[in-house]
Amino acid sequence: MYRVAANATTHQPLVLMRHGESSWNESKLVQGQNDEAQLTDRGREEASTAVASLREYSFDVIVSSDLSRALQTAQIVGDALGLEIVTSTALRERSFGAFEGRALRELPASLSGIENRVVVDEEAHPPGGESLRELHARAGNFIESLRRDRVGERLLLVTHGGTIRALCAYCAGITMKNLAWDRVGNCSIWTV
């Protein structure tokens, strides 16, 4: 579990959860916003196991990425906790454009913007994909919409690794520039 100190403008804490292992995680493929990947048996088990850690929060609702791997994770958690699920395209993973479906090892740092687990170029992007700066802006717009429209609600956001990093950076008041690209494990829980 990872915690980011809330800044003065935060109205309520958020709990973020990455989706369970997907078939494309298992195959080490670039997923991005491609929606072909499904949860593996291990991914479903990870989601079920995470429920015990989530019971203490007394959520009002789950807001999930609309991509299958996240939504399947949210459904497992929602069923176990009796929670409504709403989806948001703003919680999708970073788009990797032409590289989606290709082996992770084929994505060079010059296009990902990440080298040695640090953001080295927040403007870099694969052809047809999204830069880290754009991902950060999308995350920030989403947070501001929550501050405006969901004040006081206890939310669980089920999303993706890159999106979690961008949400945490935004809530900490920092950009993606030189950001440490910490590991975000499947079904890991982050509080901001």
DSSP annotation of 57: G
- Catalytic (active site) residue 19: yes
Rounded to whole angstroms, how far apart are CA atoms 10 and 158?
19
- Catalytic (active site) residue 130: no
Rounded to whole angstroms, how far apart are CA atoms 170 and 17?
16
Where would I find the H helices in 82-160?
109-112, 132-149
Rounded to whole angstroms, how far apart are CA atoms 149 and 38?
31
Return the residue matching tokens 């429209």: 149
The region that residue 117 occupies, defined by phi over 0 for left and psi between -120 and 50 for alpha, beta otherwise, is: left
14-18 and 189-191 beta bridge pairing: antiparallel
Rounded to whole angstroms, how far apart are CA atoms 146 and 164?
15
Q: Is 76 helix (H, G, I), strand (E, B) or coil?
A: helix
Which residue is catalytic, options 21, 46, 93, 122?
93
Q: Are 123 and 42 in contact (CB under 8 A)?
A: no
Q: Which residues are catalytic?
A: 19, 93
